[in-house]
Structure 1
């Protein structure tokens, strides 16, 4: 039995419009490291990711904690990411803690950064990245900029004329967004799956699992798990780090490892937001 718990936790995701060639796709989701210095936790993360085959590695922001931690964050991320070679690559967006000096240096990391941009790792998969401004830029995300970019740089979807007859011929659309508060925007954009973090799952919880605080404009019961809004799914990872002086309590870090299945969406269609798989 391992001396320390596994950070990587398998999660099955059901998507009705999953292209046949993406059935079984494995996506590792790393978010909210909040690095101050290199620690044994980061060594564990690197070792466990290296030992876990995945097709995609997705990063969703807040890699550093505060100004002054830029160099340590770049060094730690380089040690973590350089040995990894996911089959379809590593893609990421920035979070509200990631300042401009860090972002400039992060461009040298082995990550395809999606800054209000899109990418097509395969003809069956579109990745969209919603950029989040830093705290000094009035924390938020610029969905308008993404839409303008999308209109001026349309992604080659490689679909055929019969795509309406067979919805699984269209590419799967995955949005990378630091905050889960953008789920309604994702649904408006026709996104199939949004991957996010930001909340730390509340960071401090009661022994019953109930979160005490929230880092975004969503009710406490929506800050960790698999959410559904209309026909869009979103995952909200608890992340692996912590922000501020208060450490995690009854809210362990995790790295979700999603496996995609061609099945009906969990839960029921709703104009609200439901947490169909809390964690």
Structure 2
């Protein structure tokens, strides 16, 4: 058997194991939609309804920014990753989890090149945290090989917490899951995990992409969580916030919008590629009893520039409301 045959056999075995875990229908749906999306993107190009699939657009923007002298400034901005730290007060947080620090990275787009991974590693290196959560979009393009992004993730992984959880985004392939879990990153595919500390429990749930693939299953992610438990939900996008709030989640962490990435002065986003309300495009928000936070992301998409919207990594410190 050739090396290529060996690799294909290993992937088939890994996907079979994943099918047993998440369900045959979920795996078939995701693989089928990925295949159709790639065929459609290659065939339609600039006629795609999603901006990130417009093949001609990056070249046009590159030319425009070069002519205006802004190209290199925009690239430099992508490497100026800031660290944000915030307290998040949760009414149902168990006492044993008071002060728990969640390092949140979103929209990493790791295979963009130009020194980005090195800058990200430098930013997160030594940042104290107890858990790390990654809310999707590991690949720069929405199609193509996954290996460059996975190699970059392998370089980043030693600088993340021992317990790291992730969900997939609309740029990601379900074929990434075995490679990510080989790096000891738990990918939550409409699933949840119980975290224990001092005899008490906190739950972390995660859903598959709700923006493009619409493969999210909130009810399935919540199935094994006690009704009274405090739960953090990971989602690539804030778009299913209404359903999430009524499922009883306490905190929803997400990304996807990049905060607009190319914004007017004051951080006013021109485009967000999201159906969520503008109030949910970036930063902290609330719907009913559920709190949320939409990261502006630490990477860039479509074009490797940022204006008036610095990339971020965020540490959420969980505290008890009224404590």
Q: Is the 8 A contact 2:190 2:220 kept in 1?
A: no
1:69: Cα distance to partner?
4.5
CA distance in 1 between counterparts of 2:304 and 2:314 reads: 23
Aligned residue number for residue 27 of structure 1: 102
Aligned residue number for residue 163 of structure 1: none
- RMSD over equivalenced CA pairs, Å: 2.3
**Residue-pair matches, total:** 241
After TM superposition, the runs of 4+ consecutive aligned structure 1 residues lying more than 4 A away are none
Structure 1 residues 255, 148: closer, same or farther in 2, change over 3 A? closer
Aligned residue number for residue 178 of structure 1: 236
- 1:95 corresponds to 2:172: no
1:82: Cα distance to partner?
2.9
Q: Secondary structure at the match of 1:45?
A: helix
CA distance in 1 between counterparts of 2:161 and 2:278 reads: 36
Q: Secondary structure at the match of 1:21?
A: helix
1:97-116 maps to which residues of 2 (within 5 A)?
Answer: 97-116=171-190
Structure 1 residues 83, 236: closer, same or farther in 2, change over 3 A? closer
1:53: Cα distance to partner?
1.2
Query: Could you list the per-position Cα deviations for residues 88-118 of structure 1 after superposition, in whole angstroms to 9, with x for gaps in the alignment?
Result: x101110011023333433322201110111
Q: Is the 8 A contact 1:35 1:69 kept in 2?
A: no
Aligned residue number for residue 12 of structure 1: 87
CA distance in 1 between counterparts of 2:277 and 2:222 reads: 31
Q: Once structures 1 and 2 are overlaid, which stretch shifts more, 56-65 or 243-252? A: 243-252
Q: Secondary structure at the match of 2:110?
A: coil
1:27-106 maps to which residues of 2 (within 5 A)?
Answer: 27-66=102-141, 67-86=143-162, 89-106=163-180
Gap regions ≥5 residues in structure 1:
160-169, 266-279
Query: Could you list the per-position Cα deviations for residues 145-166 of structure 1 after superposition, in whole angstroms to 9, with x for gaps in the alignment?
Result: x424644xx24x5x9xxxxxxx
1:182: Cα distance to partner?
1.6
Query: Could you list the per-position Cα deviations for residues 39-75 of structure 1 after superposition, in whole angstroms to 9, with x for gaps in the alignment?
Result: 4221122233231110110001001022335111001
Aligned residue number for residue 193 of structure 1: 251
CA distance in 1 between counterparts of 2:160 and 2:304 reads: 31
**Higher radius of gyration, 1 or 2:** 2
* 2:206 maps to which of 95, 106, 129: 129
Query: Could you list the per-position Cα deviations for residues 215-271 of structure 1 after superposition, in whole angstroms to 9, with x for gaps in the alignment?
Result: 110233420011100000010000011111362110110011111121259xxxxxx
1:185-264 maps to which residues of 2 (within 5 A)?
Answer: 185-245=243-303, 247-263=305-321
Aligned residue number for residue 31 of structure 2: none
Q: Is the 8 A contact 2:205 2:222 kept in 1?
A: no
TM-score by length of 1: 0.79
Greater percentage in helix: 2
Q: Is the 8 A contact 2:190 2:208 kept in 1?
A: yes
Q: Is the 8 A contact 1:179 1:197 kept in 2?
A: yes
Gap regions ≥5 residues in structure 2:
1-78
CA distance in 1 between counterparts of 2:167 and 2:184 reads: 13
Query: Could you list the per-position Cα deviations for residues 167-196 of structure 1 after superposition, in whole angstroms to 9, with x for gaps in the alignment?
Result: xxx532110011011211111110000000
TM-score by length of 2: 0.69
Q: Is the 8 A contact 1:213 1:220 kept in 2?
A: no
Q: Is the 8 A contact 2:206 2:221 kept in 1?
A: no
